[in-house]
C-alpha cells in the first residue's frame, strides 16, 4: 500500500469574503505523477500556497509527509522543490549565484547537480537574471526546484515559456524522477500537458474538487470523436442517428459527432449502412474536461 505524501482534509482558505478553496479533500500517493487541473482562478495556486505554508487554512487541515503544513513548514520544505506559476527571481543574481545560495540555505552543495541540470536544459548559468529571457528564467526556476532532488516536486505551470524540445526534456526528467519514487504534483490549466505526464488527475473548479481519479478511468469515460462519410448527400440526410451517437454536425456527405456508446456497437451498426468511410478518434479528454470546467460535477 502506497504512502500518501500530500493529504488535505476539508481544507478551506478564504481571502476575506472570497473563497480560495472550499472543503478540499486530496491524497497524493508517493511516487505518483499527479496532475492538478482547473481553469484560471479555480484554486490551484491557493492549494499549493497552503501546502507550502504560505497561507494558513481557515478550516480543515493539510499535511505533507505526515506533518502539518503551517506548523512544520520549514521542516517539510527540506524535501520539497517548488516552481511558482508566476516565477520571479532576484534580478541582480546570476544563475550560479542562486544555485549557491539555495545550496547554502539547504546545507548542501548543489553546484554539481545544478551544472548537470543546466547542461541538460542548455542554460548559461553565468548570466544575471535581469538579462535572461523568460524561457531562460523558467529553466533556472526548474533547476532551483530540482537540484536537491526533492521527494516532492510541486510544479505550477512548469512548461510555460519552454520550447517543445525543452518540454520533452522536462517530461522525460520528471518521469525518471517518479520512477525513482519521487512524487510530482503538476498543476496546470492545460490538459495536454497533464495528459502527457500524469497518471492521476484531480480537477478543481471554483475552489472545490470536482474529480480525482486515474487518467485511465477518465479516458474510459471520455467520448470518442467520429466522422462518417456517406455514399451520398441524400443518404446523409435520410439516415436517423442511433442512440449511441451524438451528432454535432451534418454537412453534405459527412457526419461529425461523439460516441456515447462503445466502439464495437458503432462498427456493427456502420457495417449495415451505406458508408464510404468511418474514422473513430481517441477518447476526447478535452471535451470531458471542458464539461468539468463549466458545469457542477460530483466528487468522485
Residues that bind another protein (CB under 8 A): 15, 45, 49, 52-56, 73-78, 80-82, 84, 86-90, 92-93, 97, 100-106, 141, 144-145
Tell me which H or E stretch contains 281: strand 275-283
Q: Is 75 in contact with 64 (CB distance < 8 Å)?
A: no
Residue with cell 526534456: 169
CB of 199 to another protein, least distance (A): 25
* CA distances from residue 136 to 38, 82, 157, 170 in whole angstroms, order as listed: 26, 17, 15, 14
What single DSSP character describes residue 52? T
Query: What are the E-state strand segments in the chain?
Result: 4-15, 18-29, 33-37, 59-64, 67-68, 80-83, 152-156, 183-188, 200-205, 208-214, 224-230, 245-251, 254-259, 275-283
- For another protein, the closer of residues 185 and 230 by Cβ is 185
CB of 70 to another protein, least distance (A): 10
CB of 203 to another protein, least distance (A): 21
- For another protein, the closer of residues 107 and 282 by Cβ is 107
CB of 52 to another protein, least distance (A): 6
- For another protein, the closer of residues 16 and 243 by Cβ is 16
* Residues listed for the chain: 300
Distance CA 118, CA 139 (A): 8
- For another protein, the closer of residues 81 and 283 by Cβ is 81
- For another protein, the closer of residues 207 and 257 by Cβ is 207
User: Exposure string (b/e) for 55-74, b if CB count within 10 Å is 16 or more?
Assistant: bebeebebbbbeeebbeebe
CB of 202 to another protein, least distance (A): 21
- For another protein, the closer of residues 80 and 118 by Cβ is 80
CB of 42 to another protein, least distance (A): 13
Amino acid at each position: 500500500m502506497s504512502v500518501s505524501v500530500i493529504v488535505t482534509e476539508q481544507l478551506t482558505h478564504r481571502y476575506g469574503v472570497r473563497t480560495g478553496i472550499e472543503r478540499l479533500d486530496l491524497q497524493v500517493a508517493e511516487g505518483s505523477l499527479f496532475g492538478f487541473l482547473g481553469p484560471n482562478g479555480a484554486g490551484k495556486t491557493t492549494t499549493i500556497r497552503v501546502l507550502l505554508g504560505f497561507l494558513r487554512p481557515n478550516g480543515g487541515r493539510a499535511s505533507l509527509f505526515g506533518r502539518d503544513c503551517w506548523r512544520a513548514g520549514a521542516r517539510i520544505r527540506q524535501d520539497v522543490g517548488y516552481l511558482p506559476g508566476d516565477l520571479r527571481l532576484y534580478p541582480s543574481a546570476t544563475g550560479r549565484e542562486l544555485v549557491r545560495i539555495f545550496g547554502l540555505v539547504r546545507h548542501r552543495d548543489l553546484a554539481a547537480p545544478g551544472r548537470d541540470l543546466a547542461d541538460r536544459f542548455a542554460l548559461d548559468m553565468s548570466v544575471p537574471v535581469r538579462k535572461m529571457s523568460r524561457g531562460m528564467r523558467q529553466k533556472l526556476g526548474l533547476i532551483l526546484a530540482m537540484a536537491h532532488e526533492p521527494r516532492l516536486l510541486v510544479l505550477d505551470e512548469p512548461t510555460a515559456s519552454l520550447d517543445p524540445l525543452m518540454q520533452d526534456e522536462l517530461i522525460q526528467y520528471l518521469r525518471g524522477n517518479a520512477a525513482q519514487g519521487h512524487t510530482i504534483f503538476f498543476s496546470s490549466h492545460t490538459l495536454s500537458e497533464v495528459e502527457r505526464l500524469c497518471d492521476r488527475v484531480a480537477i478543481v473548479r471554483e475552489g472545490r474538487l470536482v474529480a480525482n481519479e486515474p487518467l485511465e478511468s477518465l479516458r474510459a469515460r471520455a467520448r470518442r470523436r467520429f466522422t462518417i462519410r456517406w455514399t451520398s448527400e441524400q443518404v446523409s440526410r435520410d439516415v436517423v442517428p442511433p442512440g449511441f451517437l451524438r451528432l454535432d454536425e451534418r454537412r453534405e456527405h459527412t457526419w461529425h459527432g461523439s460516441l456515447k456508446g462503445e466502439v464495437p456497437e458503432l462498427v456493427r451498426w456502420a457495417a449495415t449502412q451505406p458508408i464510404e468511410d468511418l474514422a473513430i478518434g481517441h477518447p476526447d479528454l478535452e471535451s470531458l474536461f471542458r464539461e468539468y470546467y463549466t458545469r457542477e460535477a460530483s466528487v468522485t
